[in-house]
Structure 1
Amino acid sequence: MLSLLFKPKELITVIRLMREAKRLGVEIDDLPSEVVAAHVLPKTHPERYGLVPDADVTCTAPIEDLALAAVKDDVRAGNWENAADLVTATHGDWDRRQRVVWALADLAAKDDAWMKSWQDARPGDPHWLVVHAMSLVSLAWDIRGSARASETTREQFDGFHRVLFEAREAAGVAAAVLPDDPTPLNTLLTLARGLQLDHDEFRAIWTELVSRDPLHHNGHQQALQYWCAKWHGSDELALEFALEAAAKSPKFLALPLHAAYEADSTPDMWKAPSVVASLDALLGRLADEGADTYALRDDRGYAAFALIRLERFEEAVGQFRALGELADAGPWSYFEDPRLTFLSLRGVAVKAMSKGKGVKAPVR
């Protein structure tokens, strides 16, 4: 707080927030997002630049898979049949299957009564095995919690590792029963971080996954996390993996931006020629695409973030314009208040562009 004495504008904002918190009878950290936004966001008049008003921005994702949404409602009501049929129907459509299995696994980690009913009615169903294995990973992370290691109890860690070992065994069974399905292999990739698998073990699983689906979307995201410095790799290994993926398919052009975002110890990675080249290639691809899927919004979010870091504010505003009111994807979703982060960075880009700062957008 003392540092704010040397920043008069920030100090005035904090004082105003303190007064508002006192008026509402809450702590300053518990102020609603819209109240904080009204005090801290730059006054940029976004509508003048073809952007939606601040008040319209939301973190609520639109429903993209109507069948999955209906099945989730069925599961919450205790009905398993449609869920089982949907998982079975996704066999071969691997990216959609991953999304369906993950969504149902998260529900099963909270309440698995419907999974038990499915197992009783269809014993030995291989698709049940796939969901079961992923649900154990979700359960393990629920047990551990999201707190830092120093704030996590020994009991939580013990439960976390015990259930992850169960998940590894279950995923191995599912992979054996459905040998062409990459989903159980992606489950093994996901739990590799928690079980601290070494590089050779991880590469063996990775080889099995990409032999089944060379362009598995979530598999590449899970692998990138493994190679990050915060897990079992380094900034250099993460970028190397991301660049190899981007060279393999335009689908992965945003992965080098993910690697740069994760590279806390190498902040200049944003300026690396290979990262800038990936960004420019991604922008070229996005020029012909919208923002009607989560994956596209995620790519555009990372593009906007990268453009701001490179002071290419006019281009960043273009990405925010394409995103419209949706702040549901990355990188905003990694922040404590995604909506406020989205609005803050959008405001930074608009304010800088309006003052003629930064690099002018090229003609595409």
Structure 2
Amino acid sequence: MTSTTDGITSGGPTSTSGPTFDPYDNTPELIPLRSAAQAGHWPAVQAYFAGLDSAAELTAAAGLLADIAGVENFLERAAAELPGDPLPRTLLAERYVHIGWGIRSSARAQHVSQDQFVQFHDWLRRAEQILIEVCAEHPSYAPAWASRLKTVRGLQLGQAEARRRYDRLSAHHPHHYRAQTQLLQQLCPKWSGSWEAAHGFARECATAAPDGSNSGALVAIVHIEHALDLDGGQKAAYMQSLPVRDDLRNAAHVSVLHPAHRPDWDSIGAHNAFAFAFSFGGHVADAAPHFAILGDRATEDPWDCLPDMKAAFLRYRKAALETRGGGNR
């Protein structure tokens, strides 16, 4: 990484051909994991996870592995051969969760067929049974608890159970960003929550976290979710409002723009959330430092809510960087 003239860590030069939404392009150190998984080579996958040094990295890597088609085949063998090891069982359960959510799709419930729901719930129940055992045997194992925040939502086990699971995880791993983003989804109205609860949780996370944590990005995420739930022109009007702008500014400056922030695998997603939120509200100068840090590194969420996420990223980035006199460097 290079540094911009105002001291903000930069993702490097931007290009008109970017951005890339591929997590392996954005985080090249993950490529060996993908290669091992695609080859079905359990010892190499196991060795990769053994080299990770944080609960955040374990959870992130587990989520990416679950997106690779066919990995359940060698994970089922590894789980059977290593019944006392939480890793292969958790990775297998996460893969089952991913398969289930893929069948359900991201559509609202009224647009999901009964057959989709049946298959969805079947895969999630298979995952849940595995995860219950892992969490009972290894109560501090973050990837398993984080995965159970996906099954609790899909199986509609309720807000109280979701919060219980989050609290169990956070007792061992406070300010776990991916777990926080999962619970935040649960607290939104689309999953039988409320905007009061969702905004309250986002503020709680941003306030409680140490300066420089990614957790402040939950404020951007919940404002995006809230805006997208509104009708027509109300979406932009909501994001354009000064209270929302100021809320985003405060959250950005205590989190990913704070001098104490140390970039990690989740920082890319956090910066994309802020870049999108500021841009969608027309606060392009506020989006500029986030785009400068990102370079061409984009994430599908939240950009995939727009018709052409690549074009939108380029358009918003160009407008933002022009406020700094940088254009498309």
TM-score for the superposition, normalised by structure 2: 0.79
Name 1:47's counterpart in structure 2. Answer: none
- Between 190-199 and 237-246, the greater mean CA deviation after superposition: 190-199
Deviation digits for residues 102-149 of structure 1, max 9, x if unmatched?
222333x63422113323543433322221221221121123234554
2:277 pairs with 1:306: yes
Name 1:222's counterpart in structure 2. Answer: 182
2:129 pairs with 1:129: no
Query: How far apart are the structure 2 equivalents of 1:336 and 1:295?
Result: 25
Query: How far apart are the structure 2 equivalents of 1:338 and 1:118?
Result: 38
Name 1:198's counterpart in structure 2. Answer: 158
- Please say if residues 246 and 278 of structure 1, whose CA atoms lie closer than 8 Å, have aligned partners that are also in contact: no
Name 1:259's counterpart in structure 2. Answer: 222
Identity %, equivalent residues: 26
Query: How far apart are the structure 2 equivalents of 1:124 and 1:106?
Result: 24
2:214 pairs with 1:243: no
Closer, same or farther: CA 88–296 of 1 in aligned 2, 3 Å? closer
2:19 pairs with 1:57: yes
Closer, same or farther: CA 254–270 of 1 in aligned 2, 3 Å? farther
Query: How far apart are the structure 1 equivalents of 2:188 and 2:240?
Result: 15
Closer, same or farther: CA 299–203 of 1 in aligned 2, 3 Å? closer
State the AA in 2 paired with 1:69. I
Closer, same or farther: CA 123–189 of 1 in aligned 2, 3 Å? closer
Structure 2, unmatched stretches of 5+, are 1-11
Closer, same or farther: CA 87–279 of 1 in aligned 2, 3 Å? same
Instruction: Say which one has the larger Rg.
Output: 1
State the AA in 1 paired with 2:123. V
2:66 pairs with 1:105: yes
Structure 1, unmatched stretches of 5+, are 1-49, 355-364
Closer, same or farther: CA 101–228 of 1 in aligned 2, 3 Å? same
Name 1:143's counterpart in structure 2. Answer: 103
Query: How far apart are the structure 1 equivalents of 2:100 and 2:136?
Result: 22
- Please say if residues 202 and 218 of structure 2, whose CA atoms lie closer than 8 Å, have aligned partners that are also in contact: yes
Closer, same or farther: CA 56–165 of 1 in aligned 2, 3 Å? closer
Shift of 1:298: 2.5
- Please say if residues 291 and 322 of structure 1, whose CA atoms lie closer than 8 Å, have aligned partners that are also in contact: no
Q: Secondary structure at the match of 1:253?
A: helix
1:250-329 mapped onto 2 (5 Å cutoff): 250=211, 251=213, 252-263=215-226, 264-265=229-230, 267=235, 268=238, 271=241, 273=243, 276-283=246-253, 285-286=256-257, 288=259, 293-328=264-299
- Please say if residues 219 and 247 of structure 2, whose CA atoms lie closer than 8 Å, have aligned partners that are also in contact: no
Shift of 1:159: 1.0
Higher relative contact order (CA 8 A, sep 6+): 2
Closer, same or farther: CA 278–125 of 1 in aligned 2, 3 Å? same
Q: Aligned pair count?
A: 302
